[in-house]
């Protein structure tokens, strides 16, 4: 049997475990021996590579995070450690690798492939949904649903006390989570790195809305702006509303994967194995306009992800007048 391995790199995301389950089961159906790399690129370096069995993936489809652990490996940035990782794979006879991760993970595996020619297929997996070339990354749907529940709960107390609540969500360099959450939760404000905001224009609008009966505010801001406390203070000083800040933090990464997440994971893992079985060597499986397609890693890494213009246009009313 040919041997194929899977690893998770970078931040964990819901959907990883369903993808791992499908990876094992589909590998066996394709006459491939699956292996787990425990701990991402760190595990490659430390030779934490083991054969996977059906028993390993029993009962994991409903769990968040990743059974095989993840890491952000500084050592993998150094050639001497990448050489060790390649030697470990070659000693076991593993010639194919599936990588679940984000932008940094894909840049790392691209360099690894150029140096050692170990075939790989990347599966976009990050709740930030910020991988160029794909409209969907594993983890984003579950994260959005976690934010939805939290925001709906916060709205109850905001309305009861006539307060402004500033909710900070993840997204250091990308405002996708904040934007979609704001649009789908009925927030009055959304601040993201991609769109300049105008507090003076918002102040005029909010004061007018208060005269017309608005008595609480929900503001959703991306963590990359690092301004949640500043905005809460602005609501108190300029709008006259008692304010609170809620930072959702890492609860956005965990939880029970949604139905959509599980289905997408199933399909991502299937297409990744098919790609490697068909001879693709350095591809990323992407999802766009309702269909899966393969992109060369160079195309995915070529530029920074940009939120769809139509989505940004919808959000502009939450950032300015």
The pLDDT value recorded for residue 283 is 95
What average pLDDT does the segment 259-271 reach? 98
pTM of the complete model: 0.95
What average pLDDT does the segment 44-73 reach? 97
Q: Tokens representing 75? A: 């050592």
Burial class, 23, CB count within 10 angstroms (exposed 0-12 / middle 13-18 / buried 19+): buried
Phi, psi of 288 (to 5 degrees): -145, 130
Of the residues 128, 156, 198, 293, which is catalytic?
Answer: 128
Nearest residue to 82 via CA among 45, 50, 35, 119: 45
The answer on pLDDT for 319 being more than 80 is: no
Instruction: Walk me through the domains of the chain, giving residue ranges and CATH numbers.
Output: 2-139+257-302 (3.40.50.450), 141-253 (3.40.50.460)
Nearest residue to 1 via CA among 37, 36, 27: 27
The pLDDT value recorded for residue 53 is 97
The pLDDT value recorded for residue 321 is 59
What average pLDDT does the segment 190-210 reach? 94
The pLDDT value recorded for residue 315 is 87
What average pLDDT does the segment 265-279 reach? 97
The pLDDT value recorded for residue 172 is 87
pLDDT by residue (tens digit) across 139-176? 999 999 999 999 999 999 999 999 999 999 999 889 99
What average pLDDT does the segment 227-232 reach? 98
Q: In the annotation, is 128 catalytic?
A: yes
């Amino acid at each position: 049997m040919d041997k194929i391995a899977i690893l998770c790199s970078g931040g964990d995301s819901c959907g990883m475990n369903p993808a791992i389950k499908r990876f094992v089961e589909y590998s066996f159906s394709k006459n491939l021996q699956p292996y787990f790399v425990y701990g991402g690129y760190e595990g490659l370096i430390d030779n934490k590579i083991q054969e996977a069995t059906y028993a390993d993936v029993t009962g994991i489809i409903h769990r968040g995070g990743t059974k095989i652990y993840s890491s952000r490996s500084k050592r993998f940035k150094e050639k001497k450690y990448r050489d060790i990782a390649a030697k470990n794979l070659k000693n076991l006879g593993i010639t194919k690798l599936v990588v679940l991760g984000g932008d940094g993970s894909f840049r790392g595996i691209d360099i690894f492939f150029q140096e050692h020619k170990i075939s790989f297929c990347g599966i976009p997996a990050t709740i930030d949904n910020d991988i160029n070339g794909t409209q969907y990354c594993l983890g984003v749907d579950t994260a959005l649903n976690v934010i939805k529940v939290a925001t709906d709960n916060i709205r109850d107390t905001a309305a009861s006390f006539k307060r402004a609540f500033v909710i900070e969500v993840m997204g250091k360099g990308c405002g996708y989570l904040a934007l979609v959450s704001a649009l789908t939760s009925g927030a009055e404000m959304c601040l993201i790195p991609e769109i300049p905001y105008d507090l003076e224009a918002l102040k005029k609008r909010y004061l007018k809305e208060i005269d017309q009966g608005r008595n609480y505010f929900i503001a959703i801001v991306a963590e990359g702006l690092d301004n949640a406390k500043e905005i809460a203070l602005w609501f108190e000083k300029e709008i006259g509303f008692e304010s609170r800040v809620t930072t959702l933090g890492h609860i956005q990464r965990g939880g029970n994967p949604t139905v959509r997440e599980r289905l997408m994971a199933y399909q991502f893992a299937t297409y990744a194995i098919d790609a490697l079985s068909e001879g693709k060597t350095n591809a990323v499986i992407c999802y766009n306009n309702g269909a899966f397609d393969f992109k060369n890693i160079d195309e995915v890494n070529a530029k920074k992800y940009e939120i769809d213009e139509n989505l940004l246009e919808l959000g502009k009313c939450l950032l300015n007048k």
